[in-house]
Structure 1
């Protein structure tokens, strides 16, 4: 049986947030105050629709946006990790579950020739319309009170594993790599044989630490803290040898 590698994207594969990075394509390299103040801490996807609408209103077209997105840096060692995964597809399946969008992720991965590492990318659909505006949609609907209304990563992961099982693919281990608050929900669905790779110094590490301190930790998998792709790669090599 294979292992399943699951990656968040922003601040995990790339060392930044793709949704905020796109703002660098605007003339001022930032959003006007009136637009920034529209975000109230909820419904990020709806807010991003307004941001992308503003970018389109400035006459900024697909080639300019793409060039900016291709400049986002990867986390240290992450490209080497993804190339190792490409070379070991007989032993692992690998997916992304992200609150970014299909256009940004595909551009960034293709720029570094790492798209072949991934068997599936579960994220918000996005396309350019006839006027050259980038339009994004919600990935799915769900009833999870813990997650944003456009994406529950737990549901996305559970559904993917179930669909794989229907075609005869069963995973011996799931290794989930992430950094943010919305990665806690899918990690809570993992079992004792699984691994949660948690980025050091980011919100996910803090949330898991608080759960442990309250003695209310419902997280079953092994928790491993990482700072670079090299650390994940080192663990993965050892894991695949067993």
Structure 2
């Protein structure tokens, strides 16, 4: 069960003399990366490193539904063959622009870091995400990042793997964000950290899957006009009440910050 706000104001418990137990965060905030934290799809961004900023037609046509992770492995191998090296990738990821209002949201979260636990779940790649978050000065805000493993091999090629396997029929074979979020909440509960509310900020179809698992206490922040937003609207039309979380669409992440700020003002 989620921890209720009635216990928030209680004094800290002591494990020993002078050893206070830190008060656990009250809220979990889950972020997507591509077209959520950053304004672009970072997989598309890497094409700027290709000759003529385009892929050969046979490679481009090799993308098949359900095997995007494998397709990106081929893309990265091609870029390696063209002489693209670690410093090139690092500079590219660092310079992908943040989405509108995202600096304001991170500033708010930094000021209220004791209340919010942040995690990131993305079907991009770990190297690119960490490079961007460090460049933006917000990497330390995240307790954990879940993404496809990536590293540079002895040739200097960026390699990519799948995150995990799962049985969800609605998600790509390499990642189900609902499975990741559900397991994370269970893990934190075992560590005696349970959240009053979960907030989910995303944009894509693969963000809709975990948002369906949210409860009526939680809030889904879909980017306005993107697949996650359209899918929540379609579910509400077809099955009124089936989508339990409050839905708050956003165009600027500053809107998310304002919503959270107002929430804190109302809390006990």
TM-score interval, normalised by the smaller of the two chains:
over 0.9
Which moves more between the two structures, 164-173 or 206-215? 206-215
When normalised by structure 2's length, the TM-score is 0.88
- Correspondence list, 1:181-220, <5 A: 181-215=205-239, 218-220=242-244
Asked if structure 2 preserves the Cα contact closer than 8 Å seen for 1:106 and 1:115, the reply is yes
SS in 2 for 1:47: helix
Structure 1 unaligned spans of 5+: none
CA drift of 1:41 comes to 2.4
Pairwise mapping of residues 113-128 of structure 1 onto structure 2 (< 5 A)?
Answer: 113-128=137-152
Q: Which residue of 1 aligns with 2:53?
A: 29
Is 1:71 matched up with 2:89? Answer: no
- As a proportion of its length, which structure holds more strand? 1
Q: Deviations over 1:42-91 (max 9, x none)?
A: 21100000000000010110101111122211111102211321222211
| Inter-partner Cα distance in structure 2 for 1:236 and 1:216 | 26
Question: For residues 162 and 241 of structure 2, what CA distance do their matches in structure 1 show?
Answer: 30
Structure 1 ranges of 4+ moved more than 2 A: 215-218
Once residues 93 and 217 of structure 1 are traced to their aligned partners in structure 2, the CA distance between those partners, rounded to angstroms, is 28
Q: Deviations over 1:193-219 (max 9, x none)?
A: 000001101111111111222236521
Instruction: Tell me the residue number matched to 1:231.
Output: 255
Offset of 1:226 from its aligned partner? 0.5
SS of the aligned residue for 1:4 comes to strand
Question: Structure 1 residue 50 and structure 2 residue 103: aligned?
Answer: no
Tell me whether 1:222 sits opposite 2:246 in the alignment.
yes
- Correspondence 1:160 to 2:184: yes
Give secondary structure in 1 for the equivalent of 2:51. Answer: coil
**What SS does the corresponding residue of 1:5 show, helix, strand or coil?**
strand
- Aligned match of 1:93: 117
Unaligned stretches of 5+ in structure 2?
1-24
Alignment-derived partner of residue 7 in structure 2: none
In structure 2, C-alpha distance between the alignment counterparts of 1:154 and 1:23, rounded to whole Å: 29
Does the aligned pair in 1 maintain the 2:66–2:173 contact within 8 Å? no
Contact 1:91 1:240 in 2 (8 A): no
Q: Please report how far the alpha carbon of residue 144 of structure 1 lies from its aligned counterpart in structure 2 after TM superposition.
A: 0.6
Taking the aligned partners of 2:58 and 2:44, their CA distance within structure 1 comes to 16
Trace 1:171-190 onto structure 2 (pairs within 5 A).
171-190=195-214
Name the Cα RMSD after superposition. 1.2
Q: Distance in 2 between matches of 1:133 and 1:51?
A: 11
- In the alignment, which residue of structure 1 is the partner of 2:163? 139
Q: How many residues in Structure 1 have an aligned counterpart in Structure 2?
A: 242
Match of 1:81 among 105, 117, 121: 105
8 Å contact from structure 1 (residues 179, 198) kept in 2: yes
TM-score, normalised via structure 1 length: 0.97
Structure having the higher Rg = 2
